């Protein structure tokens, strides 16, 4: 009886673990504002220096600076999250 309970518990744990390790589909960003900011952030982290990019959206130019610590600073009207570098939707 105890063996059956142990096997049942192991089965449940294996099922939950399998669900936890599913990969999230990779969202490809091709030639978008967010991809340019992400590339600048990646370069800043890898190079250990700040990288600045200019992005044009709706006829307005915005400057975003990615720093070596991974933070991204841009005009608040552009809507960039300082910690992740993602654009607000």
**Chain-centre distance for alpha carbon 55:** 19
Q: Is the pLDDT assigned to residue 79 strictly greater than 60?
A: yes
Using one digit for the tens of pLDDT, what is the confidence trace for 11-22?
A: 888 877 766 666
Q: Across residues 28-46, what is the average pLDDT?
A: 82
Q: Which residue's structure tokens are 């089965």?
A: 11
Q: Across residues 68-76, what is the average pLDDT?
A: 89
CB under 8 A, 24+ apart: contacts of 29-35: 33/57, 33/87, 34/85, 34/86, 34/87
> Is-contact 21 27, C-beta < 8 A?
no
Q: What is the mean pLDDT of the chain?
A: 83
Using one digit for the tens of pLDDT, what is the confidence trace for 39-61?
A: 899 999 999 999 999 988 888 88
């Amino acid at each position: 009886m105890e063996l059956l309970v142990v096997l049942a518990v192991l089965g449940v744990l294996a099922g939950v673990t399998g669900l936890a390790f599913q990969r999230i589909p990779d969202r490809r960003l091709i030639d978008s504002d967010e991809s340019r900011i992400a590339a600048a952030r990646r370069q800043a982290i890898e190079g250990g220096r700040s990288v600045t990019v200019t992005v044009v959206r709706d006829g307005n130019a915005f400057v975003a600076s990615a720093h070596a610590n991974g933070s991204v600073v841009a005009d608040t009207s552009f809507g960039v999250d300082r910690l992740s570098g993602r654009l607000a939707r």
